[in-house]
């Protein structure tokens, strides 16, 4: 990775290089609380690359849970750029700090809500919970079940065809109607911030959380976007000291490419 690009990424994360590939940053926020962020650029999963801020402990998740699946999503090498579905590069102007190592089809289908559904579907598929894989269509608000689509063929190839089928007829609108409301202070890993929008909405998913002894919580977000592109771990655009963590609070949530409100939080 070119030194200049590494420096850009590290600056966005609020990290500096060390001899052990572990980066640390210290700064003070507006409440004069010391924040220390550590990231291990050599690590290959979300929870191992982006360690909890000093004084915080990453949420423990049961081995086969959706939360654990998200925390352990594989990441491409630090500095990898997001690719669009047709192979071109999404330049990183303060949007993302890492890229999830998951292939996408060469068609403009796996956009924001689709990426969330893909993650949910992948988890359930690999757990063998085929009867739980379902997503609602926008047209009638009714679920389409993988089990019905598969007709006895539970291969991964069939699952991927099913997901393309879902991507074609579901979006942020259908997801917003399908998911259940979650009070912001009850946030869990796997929850989704989602807006319908006119004509377009957006969705991002909570992929990790941590808390301190006072009950303060922080979280990390992942997204895809338009046109279809790799799923990426988002930078906190309002706090380079905390990034890529966001503080859990009521009110507005500003992500690099979209604004949400705490009332937009939902869950499967």
Q: How many CA atoms lie within 13 A of 109 on its CB side?
A: 18
The answer to whether residue 24 sits within a structural domain is no
The answer to whether residue 45 sits within a structural domain is no
Q: Is the pLDDT of residue 94 over 80?
A: yes
In whole angstroms, what is the distance from residue 141 CA to residue 144 CA?
10
Mean pLDDT over the full length of the chain: 89
The answer to whether residue 84 sits within a structural domain is yes
Under DSSP, the state recorded for 225 is -
Cβ proximity of 268 and 179 under 8 Å? yes
| Predicted pLDDT of residue 68 | 98
Number of structural domains the chain divides into:
1
The answer to whether residue 167 sits within a structural domain is no
Residue 197 pLDDT level (bands cut at 50, 70, 90): confident
The answer to whether residue 95 sits within a structural domain is yes
The answer to whether residue 107 sits within a structural domain is no
The answer to whether residue 113 sits within a structural domain is no
Count of Cβ atoms closer than 10 Å to residue 179 Cβ = 18
Residue 25 pLDDT level (bands cut at 50, 70, 90): very low
The answer to whether residue 229 sits within a structural domain is yes
pTM above 0.85, yes or no: yes
Under DSSP, the state recorded for 264 is G
Residue 46 pLDDT level (bands cut at 50, 70, 90): very high
Instruction: Convert the pLDDT of each residue in 198-247 to its tens digit.
Output: 788 999 999 999 999 999 999 999 999 999 999 999 999 999 999 999 99
In whole angstroms, what is the distance from residue 101 CA to residue 78 CA?
11
Under DSSP, the state recorded for 262 is G
In whole angstroms, what is the distance from residue 83 CA to residue 101 CA?
11
The parent domain of residue 75 ranges over: 56-102+177-267
């Amino acid at each position: 990775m070119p030194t200049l690009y590494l420096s850009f990424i590290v600056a966005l994360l609020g990290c500096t290089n060390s001899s052990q590939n572990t980066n640390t940053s210290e700064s003070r926020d507006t409440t004069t609380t010391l924040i220390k962020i550590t990231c291990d650029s050599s690590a290959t999963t979300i929870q191992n690359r982006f360690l909890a801020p000093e004084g915080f402990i990453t949420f423990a998740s049961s081995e086969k849970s959706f939360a654990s699946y998200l925390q352990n999503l594989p990441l491409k090498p630090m500095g990898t750029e997001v690719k669009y579905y047709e192979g071109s590069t999404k330049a990183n102007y303060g949007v993302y700090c890492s890229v999830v190592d998951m292939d996408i089809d060469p068609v403009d289908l796996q956009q924001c809500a689709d990426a969330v559904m893909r993650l949910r579907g992948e988890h359930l598929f690999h757990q063998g919970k085929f009867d739980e894989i379902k997503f609602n269509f926008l047209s009638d608000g009714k679920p389409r079940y993988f089990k019905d689509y598969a007709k006895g063929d539970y291969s991964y190839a069939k699952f991927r065809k099913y997901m393309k089928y879902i991507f074609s007829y579901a979006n942020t609108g259908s997801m917003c109607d399908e998911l259940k409301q979650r009070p912001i202070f009850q946030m869990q890993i796997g929850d989704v911030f989602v807006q319908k929008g006119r004509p377009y909405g957006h969705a991002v998913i909570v992929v990790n959380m941590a808390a301190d002894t006072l009950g303060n919580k922080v979280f990390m977000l992942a997204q895809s976007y338009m046109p279809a592109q790799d799923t990426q771990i988002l930078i906190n655009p309002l706090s380079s000291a905390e990034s890529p963590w966001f503080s859990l609070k009521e009110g507005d949530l500003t992500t690099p490419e979209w604004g949400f409100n705490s009332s937009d939080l939902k869950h499967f």
